[in-house]
Structure 1
Amino acid sequence: MIPNRMGTEIGSTAEHALYAMLDGVETRWACPENRTGAKGSAAIAGGGRKGSPFLPIASGETVVLAEEQGISGIVRRIWITLNDRSPRMLRSLRIDMYWDGSEQAAVSAPLGDFFGTGLGLVTPFQAALFSSPEGRSFNCAVPMPFRTGMKITVTNEGDEALRMFFYDVDYTIGDRHAADALYFHAHFRREYPTTQRRDYEILPKLQGRGRFLGTNIGVNPDTSRYGLSWWGEGECKIYLDGDDEYPSLCSTGTEDYIGTGWEQGTFSNLYQGCHVADKTSMSFCFYRYHVPDPVYFQRDIKVTMQQIGYWDPQTRDKFMESGVRVMEAREERIIDFAADAPESIPDYGVFEREDDWSSCAYFYLDSPASNLPELADVKLRVAGLDVR
């Protein structure tokens, strides 16, 4: 066996050679021109002349994008584009994925956030697992093995109908999996706002054995309270296999976690990037994929990020002008920039914040179901998105 690029053994050695045939493995594409992906059933509508290139999805409607029963396989690529790519629509569309007949979805997330488009802000980027060429479409290249079947659905939980939904789900059937092949999962969260000194949970405590694959994160800071000050001094903390008060893994700052430093601008690399860095609103969307640096867990895992901001002399002066009152992060003392004596306030400091954070975490697990809570109601997912 040779590990695939996720480090998980999925099939035989031959699978990883471009020139090799895999015995008993067949290719399927499910799309509006062939909803079932069945052999000899594509491009039939309209006399075979582009008769069904997209689907409409009414408000409240669920559509099945791809489904197989009684056979093994691997979902290898998903591509989607749609005519309404507004933040509200991307948060209202819900994508769910089920493996091996499980009634609980392994993937349950807003469409945009699942494909790495944080805050519903579509922008061009390219990474190893997700991409959006020209900011017009959504691509996923994460391998998703199944043993006895799979189902992928999209539900429109918004108030507006979607007129045009284009998609491809590209997969193979008949793949033979190693005994320790894991199931792909994704989990979306949002806190609006976060709570001071309570770390934001990218991945709540998860039971089982598997691999944390990474996350994308969107931050809408409270500029009415903190102005345009830097919000990203918080550290990423990963609790592994019984860790209690303190984690086993920790970054040195939010931007440090995604591989840059001294705040962050826009960039997109294979395994880390920041594809939205709006300095006029301080809204940011960024990602980190643990592909070359695997994060394994044997019993349980929890992944969090601190909400800590920073002031320097320039920010200190602005805080004094606006009368900001904050909690200092290390000593927990309250600093009132309007009332405290100026000489008692240092030129540099870190403080606790309350902002709007959202994320989609990706992981592999040894079960097609998890102990994580269900996806939040659409009203919570879209609240405040139009106020920027």
Structure 2
Amino acid sequence: MKKMCLPLLLFLCQTLLAQQLYQMPEGVRQSTISTFENINGIKNAGGKTNKTGKGNAFEDLKAGASKTLLNVQGAGIIQRMWFTVRDRSPEMLRSMRLRMYWDNSSKPAVDVPFGDFFGFGLSKMIKFESALFSSPEGRSFNCYIPMPYKTGAKVVITNESNNNIELLFFDIDFIHLVKPDPKALYFHAYWTRQKTSALGSDFEFLPAVKGKGRYLGVNMGVNADKRYADTWWGEGEVKIYKDGDDKLPGYNGTGSEDYIGTGWGLGTFTNMYQGATIANDSTKQYAFYRFHIPDQVFFNSSFRGTIQQIGGGDLELVRKLIKENVPLKPVTVQSEAGFNRLLDNPLDINDAAFPKGWVNFYRIDDYSATTYFYLDKPVTNLAALPEVSERIR
């Protein structure tokens, strides 16, 4: 069995996949959990209230209030987090703010809407299970991402809505280590939203971060603009720029649903490493995730992630949208005669000789995303979480 000299971020994978369950790993000082019955999991301190008779299993979280759920010193690893709340509306899940700080930093490494963090794109809940997140019955929030720290960890939740949360339950499972692994990377999560943009611009789901690390994956939500009628929104390619990539990326995908391992449109499915929790052609709402666990994506000096805003539709429908002044720009057409790259070889879409077939075009939709990654430092230059009004409207 390999010992604790491995990076700590691999510790749980080692435990699950390689370590004999009956063997005690080296370097573990204590395993415990933080709950409202015993914040920080202090020895000999759990369940003091109500003469130990379940006196503090939950607390409220009033509008505008914050609670520190974990604040410990020394080296360790958060192994799992579980929450449940009574109000699970998209508005509340976007209004709750989750922050995590490593090694006594003043800036959080995680600063995200609560619902989006736990894998619910657009903060709409369903029953699902993936490699990193789960909600067994659509009423809870589970995260299994290992989060190592070297000198301290703090987790804070804030209710930025106008309504009180009457029932908030949680537990954070973690281990204290004898000493930190100097090779351990820090976990980060970043949320952003782009309601509108210039035609032809990409959605940047992770702005450039500097350092060495690993891109763990993303969950993304799309409110497709209904002006585009029954056209398809998801022809855009995921492009990842890392380690010196400038105008052109080394990692270039082939389409939105292709990136999450399916094809020819998008229905709902939830697999271990990829899935779509929402695919509603009536409301034009879509949410999907992709986790790079078997297919690891490392970077040595920088990372930036984008997805193109490109859709597609039948020629006659695209012509109709153009006449209605819906913002779009044709980029390719696939017909019986072949494939035409319209940006390289422009053709007039209103010309009778224009090839009849499937037209891909730049469009503008409302995108949001939570990106997960590890980095060799506990803070980044990324912006703080946008205001509630930008998150829920």
Do the two structures share a fold, i.e. TM-score over 0.5?
yes
Which residue does 1:262 correspond to in 2? 264
Deviation per CA, 1:174-220: give whole Å up to 9, x if none: 25443211000000000012432111011101101100000000001
Q: Is the 8 A contact 1:327 1:334 kept in 2?
A: no
Which residue does 2:240 correspond to in 1? 238
Q: Confirm or deny that 1:109 pairs with 2:119.
A: no
From 286, 308, 311, the equivalent of 2:288 is 286
Which residue does 1:386 correspond to in 2? none
Q: Secondary structure at the match of 1:229?
A: coil
Q: Is the 8 A contact 2:12 2:146 kept in 1?
A: no
- Once residues 317 and 133 of structure 2 are traced to their aligned partners in structure 1, the CA distance between those partners, rounded to angstroms, is 36
- Once residues 13 and 80 of structure 2 are traced to their aligned partners in structure 1, the CA distance between those partners, rounded to angstroms, is 19
Compute the displacement of 1:138 (Å).
0.7
- Once residues 40 and 163 of structure 1 are traced to their aligned partners in structure 2, the CA distance between those partners, rounded to angstroms, is 28
Which residue does 1:248 correspond to in 2? 250
Q: Secondary structure at the match of 1:36?
A: helix
Letter aligned with residue 249 of structure 1: Y
Which residue does 1:348 correspond to in 2? 358
Q: Secondary structure at the match of 1:155?
A: strand
Which residue does 2:225 correspond to in 1? 222
- Once residues 245 and 14 of structure 1 are traced to their aligned partners in structure 2, the CA distance between those partners, rounded to angstroms, is 41
Letter aligned with residue 61 of structure 2: I
Deviation per CA, 1:344-382: give whole Å up to 9, x if none: 473211111111100000000000011111111111111
Which residue does 2:273 correspond to in 1? 271
Q: Secondary structure at the match of 1:328?
A: strand
Which residue does 1:375 correspond to in 2? 385
Number of residue-to-residue matches in the alignment: 379
Letter aligned with residue 301 of structure 2: R
From 41, 45, 50, the equivalent of 2:45 is 41
From 77, 89, 92, the equivalent of 2:92 is 89
Q: Is the 8 A contact 1:220 1:282 kept in 2?
A: yes
> Which segment drifts farther, 181-190 or 276-285?
276-285
- Once residues 6 and 84 of structure 2 are traced to their aligned partners in structure 1, the CA distance between those partners, rounded to angstroms, is 26
- Once residues 306 and 299 of structure 1 are traced to their aligned partners in structure 2, the CA distance between those partners, rounded to angstroms, is 24
Q: Confirm or deny that 1:32 pairs with 2:36.
A: yes
Q: Is the 8 A contact 2:199 2:364 kept in 1?
A: yes
Q: Is the 8 A contact 2:150 2:181 kept in 1?
A: no
Q: Confirm or deny that 1:310 pairs with 2:312.
A: yes
Q: Secondary structure at the match of 1:233?
A: coil
Q: Is the 8 A contact 2:199 2:327 kept in 1?
A: no
Which residue does 1:148 correspond to in 2? 151
Letter aligned with residue 119 of structure 2: G
Which residue does 2:194 correspond to in 1? 191
Q: Is the 8 A contact 2:327 2:363 kept in 1?
A: no
Letter aligned with residue 381 of structure 1: R
Seq. identity, %: 41
Deviation per CA, 1:228-250: give whole Å up to 9, x if none: 32100000000011110100101
CA 1:45–1:345: 2 relative to 1, 3 Å: farther
Compute the displacement of 1:20 (Å).
1.4
- Once residues 282 and 6 of structure 1 are traced to their aligned partners in structure 2, the CA distance between those partners, rounded to angstroms, is 42
Q: Which runs of 5+ in 2 are unaligned?
A: 333-341
- Once residues 342 and 169 of structure 1 are traced to their aligned partners in structure 2, the CA distance between those partners, rounded to angstroms, is 64
- Once residues 113 and 377 of structure 1 are traced to their aligned partners in structure 2, the CA distance between those partners, rounded to angstroms, is 15
Q: Which runs of 5+ in 1 are unaligned?
A: 384-388
Q: Is the 8 A contact 1:195 1:353 kept in 2?
A: no
CA 1:5–1:75: 2 relative to 1, 3 Å: same
Deviation per CA, 1:130-156: give whole Å up to 9, x if none: 111111111100000011110000011
Letter aligned with residue 148 of structure 1: T
- Once residues 242 and 282 of structure 1 are traced to their aligned partners in structure 2, the CA distance between those partners, rounded to angstroms, is 37
Which residue does 1:201 correspond to in 2? 204
* TM-score, reference length from structure 1: 0.91
Letter aligned with residue 252 of structure 1: T
- Once residues 377 and 330 of structure 2 are traced to their aligned partners in structure 1, the CA distance between those partners, rounded to angstroms, is 42
CA 1:100–1:313: 2 relative to 1, 3 Å: same
Q: Confirm or deny that 1:18 pairs with 2:28.
A: no
- Once residues 106 and 75 of structure 2 are traced to their aligned partners in structure 1, the CA distance between those partners, rounded to angstroms, is 18
- Once residues 346 and 5 of structure 1 are traced to their aligned partners in structure 2, the CA distance between those partners, rounded to angstroms, is 57
Q: Is the 8 A contact 2:37 2:47 kept in 1?
A: yes
- Once residues 264 and 207 of structure 1 are traced to their aligned partners in structure 2, the CA distance between those partners, rounded to angstroms, is 34
Q: Is the 8 A contact 2:100 2:155 kept in 1?
A: yes
Q: Is the 8 A contact 1:107 1:186 kept in 2?
A: yes
Q: Is the 8 A contact 2:7 2:183 kept in 1?
A: no
Which residue does 1:77 correspond to in 2? 80
